[in-house]
Amino acid sequence: MNNICKLSEAITESLDEYFTHLDGQPPHAIYDMVLGCIEKPMLEYILNKSGGNQSKASEILGINRNTLRKKMAQYNLE
């Protein structure tokens, strides 16, 4: 549980920095930006932990294997 709090803190700090450096520009597509920053390294880590076994990785992640494959293609992890 403590790691979840650390992750939340890191996201908050990163968003604070993002808004600080906007320099008058309007924020844009923050949701996709944050998901991309978190999702790709998480997928890489879990795929590594599962030895590249997509069935195991999808089980660990709690997502369908086809969803995992779609996300792997999205982030060029194949």
With a pLDDT cut of 90, the percent of the chain lying above it is: 87
pLDDT at 1: 55
Query: Residues 55-68: pLDDT tens digits?
Result: 999 999 999 999 99
User: Quick check: pTM over 0.85?
Assistant: no
For residues 32-36, give the mean pLDDT. 92
Query: Per the structure, how many domains does the chain have?
Result: 1
The CATH number linked to 68 is 1.10.10.60
Average pLDDT over residues 25-49: 95
- pLDDT above 80: residue 32: yes
Domain that holds residue 49: 29-78
Could you please report the per-residue DSSP string of the chain? -HHHHHHHHHHHHHHHHHHHTTTTPPP--HHHHHHHHHHHHHHHHHHHHTTT-HHHHHHHHTS-HHHHHHHHHHTT--
Output the pLDDT for position 5: 84
Domain presence at residue 24: no
